[in-house]
């Protein structure tokens, strides 16, 4: 594209103790361009966009907006100059309605009646229909993202920054989002787009800047560059697709019968008549749109939520009335979706976080005293095996990027040799290289005889690793299907609540395959 850049970044550098997050970064975003920012976890993407949005100040270097110096001291200053940002994690209050949430993000919000009309007009104009008076707690994940986007659109932004915007969306919702972004682009709005889903980058973006270890290592036109080539630029090496040898499934290791659980919060999803039979060596994929009971299911399987005595058995032993520690001791391990605060204690070190879940299975205490030497060795082994980018095991969990903390959490559980592993969103926010490594570790775990349940909103991920598939919709599971014969159309029906897909349908799919 010709003409002056909307945003120019020249020699930006930002360092923290023990790590240089951005090292002499330079690139430009043109008006009306969808520009991808790619890189591994820890490559410096989040730090860079925080500087663009005024959350962080650079140590050196400069930025310019339409040729004028640009150095926002806070997000309010960035918004005043036309920069808006949709974060990966929603910042919404569930007990407030859509209009009330949007007004909280405005400097001078109008009256609720006038704001509601603007929300309706803007959301319909961009194909993102919203009811301004609906409670956010009643909205799906895709609808909540619409709230965040419409809040930004009401600012009439010149530059819209989007961080992993499709991580909680169905394929249909992704298409709606892309149509909206293309409309914005055609109207002259520039978009800085961060995602680990490289095929999305190829479908949407006009230009891509690739970061590795804080430095710009290349630029490309995603429409003319394959996903494999972009991944290789990001990590500096070629990536192998996860694979495992075919093997016969063993006996049933985990059985769930008639599991019904009420939600712990008013906006949670009740589980109704859940039934699962997981075999040794099997990877069972559970798909579903966010908010359909994924967190509640993991809590019921982990023992965090009390369940009826006979509802869950592990290797034929009833464990329904056992808590998390007792289930862990028997070999049922879980890795929840929420990394900070649930899977890891934010202010504790990685050594301490390793102790929290691995104490029993790795023998990290003796006669009631913690064996810190063994605990440190285990944490270090997880860091080295899963390439966790951190200055060391004494670093606090909150100091890690989201993807690196995810690698630590998954590695910590897998390296405890579970009999059954239940993991929710195993590669959420993780770069292509780390995602491939995590998926391979899951397949290796199953190859060695463990049963694995993978709960994920990434359908490509489930089809890649799972032997069988079921969909979670409004707290109910569809019938289990072999992944080998599934089509996206069938999966879409299952995600939408088609629970009555019986065995004749399954046989027909296998016949077609």
First to last CA, the chain: 46
Helix (H) or strand (E) holding 146: helix 141-153
β-strand pairing of 476-477 with 215-220 = unpaired
> Which DSSP category does 340 fall into?
B
Q: Compute CA distances 120 → 115, 176, 308, 369, whole Å.
A: 9, 17, 46, 61
Helix H segments across 275-420? 294-302, 324-330, 350-358, 372-385, 402-414
Please state, in angstroms and rounded to a whole number, the distance separating the CA atoms of residues 340 and 306: 23
pLDDT of residue 428: 78
Angle at 457 between CA 452 and CA 462, to 5 degrees: 45
Q: Decide: helix, strand or coil at residue 38.
A: strand
pLDDT of residue 504: 36
pLDDT of residue 292: 86
pLDDT of residue 420: 97
Number of H helices, E strands in the chain: 17, 23
Closest CA to 233 of 22, 10, 43: 43
Classify each residue of 266-289 as buried b or exposed e, where b means 16 or more C-beta atoms within 10 Å of its C-beta.
eebbebeebebebbbbbbbbbbbb
Helix H segments across 9-111? 45-52, 75-80, 98-104
β-strand pairing of 34-39 with 207-212 = parallel
Q: Compute CA distances 199 → 76, 222, 230, 434, 473, whole Å.
A: 34, 9, 10, 17, 27
Beta carbons within 8 Å of 495's beta carbon, 6+ residues apart:
170, 287, 288, 289, 471, 473
pLDDT of residue 350: 97
pLDDT of residue 498: 62
Please report the domains of the chain, with CATH numbers, ordered by start residue: 7-235 (3.40.50.300), 252-512 (3.40.50.300)
The pTM of the whole model exceeds 0.75: no
Determine if residue 164 is left, alpha or beta; phi over 0 gives left, psi from -120 to 50 gives alpha, anything else beta.
Answer: left
Residuewise pLDDT in 10s, the chain (513 residues): 456 899 999 999 999 887 899 999 999 999 999 999 999 877 899 899 999 999 999 999 999 999 999 999 999 999 999 999 988 767 889 899 999 999 987 878 889 999 999 999 998 888 888 899 999 988 877 788 889 889 988 988 999 999 888 766 767 778 888 998 999 999 999 999 998 888 889 999 999 999 998 999 999 999 999 988 998 898 887 767 777 776 678 999 999 999 999 987 777 889 999 999 999 999 999 998 777 899 899 999 999 998 988 899 999 999 999 999 999 999 999 999 888 888 999 999 999 999 999 999 999 998 889 999 999 999 999 999 988 988 899 999 998 877 789 899 999 999 999 999 999 989 877 777 788 889 999 999 999 999 999 999 888 889 889 999 999 998 999 999 999 888 777 887 788 776 554 433 434 333 333
């Amino acid at each position: 594209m010709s003409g002056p850049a909307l945003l120019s970044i020249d020699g930006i550098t930002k360092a923290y103790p023990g790590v240089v997050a951005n090292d002499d970064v330079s690139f430009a975003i043109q008006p009306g361009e969808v520009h991808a920012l790619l890189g591994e976890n820890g490559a410096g993407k989040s730090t860079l966009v925080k500087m663009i949005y005024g959350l962080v100040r650079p140590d050196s270097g400069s930025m310019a907006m339409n040729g004028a110096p640009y150095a926002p001291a806070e997000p309010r200053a960035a918004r005043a100059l036309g920069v808006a940002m949709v974060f990966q994690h929603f910042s919404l209050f569930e007990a407030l309605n859509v209009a009330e949430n949007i007004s909280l993000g405005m400097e001078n919000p109008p009256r609720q009646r006038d704001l509601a009309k603007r929300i309706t007009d803007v959301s319909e104009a961009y194909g993102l229909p919203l009811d301004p008076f609906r409670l956010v707690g009643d909205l799906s994940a895709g609808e909540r993202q619409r709230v965040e986007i419409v809040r930004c659109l009401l600012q009439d932004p010149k530059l819209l920054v989007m961080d992993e915007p499709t991580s909680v969306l169905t394929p249909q919702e992704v298409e709606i989002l892309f149509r909206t972004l293309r409309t914005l682009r055609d109207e002259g709005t520039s978009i800085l787009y961060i995602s680990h889903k490289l095929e999305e980058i190829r479908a949407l973006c006009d230009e891509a800047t690739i970061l590795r270890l804080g430095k710009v290592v290349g630029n490309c036109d995603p429409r003319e560059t394959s996903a494999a080539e972009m991944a290789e630029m990001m990590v500096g090496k070629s990536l192998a697709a996860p694979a495992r040898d075919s093997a016969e499934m063993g006996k049933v290791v985990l059985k769930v019968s008639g599991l019904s659980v009420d939600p712990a919060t008013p906006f949670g999803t009740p589980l109704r008549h859940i039934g699962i039979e997981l075999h040794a060596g099997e990877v069972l994929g559970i798909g579903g749109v966010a908010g359909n009971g994924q967190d509640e299911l993991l809590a019921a399987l982990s023992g965090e939520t009390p369940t009826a005595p006979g509802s869950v058995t592990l290797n034929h032993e009833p464990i329904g009335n056992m808590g998390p520690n007792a289930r862990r001791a028997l070999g049922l391990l879980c890795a929840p979706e929420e990394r900070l605060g649930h899977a890891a204690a934010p202010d504790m070190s990685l050594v301490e976080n390793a102790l929290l879940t691995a104490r029993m299975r790795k023998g990290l205490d003796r006669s009631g005293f913690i064996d810190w030497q063994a605990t440190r060795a285990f944490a270090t082994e997880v860091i080295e095996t899963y390439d966790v980018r951190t200055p060391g095991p004494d670093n606090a969990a909150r100091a890690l990027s989201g993807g690196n903390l995810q690698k630590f959490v998954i590695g910590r559980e897998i390296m405890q040799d579970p009999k059954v592993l239940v993991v929710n969103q195993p590669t959420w926010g993780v770069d292509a290289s780390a995602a491939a490594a995590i998926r391979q570790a899951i397949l290796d775990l199953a190859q060695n005889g463990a049963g694995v349940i993978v709960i994920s909103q990434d359908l490509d991920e489930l089809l890649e690793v799972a032997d069988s598939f079921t969909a979670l919709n409004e707290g109910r599971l569809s019938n289990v299907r072999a992944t080998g014969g599934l089509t996206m159309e069938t999966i879409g029906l299952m995600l939408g609540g088609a629970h009555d897909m019986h065995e004749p349908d399954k046989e027909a799919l296998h016949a077609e395959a």
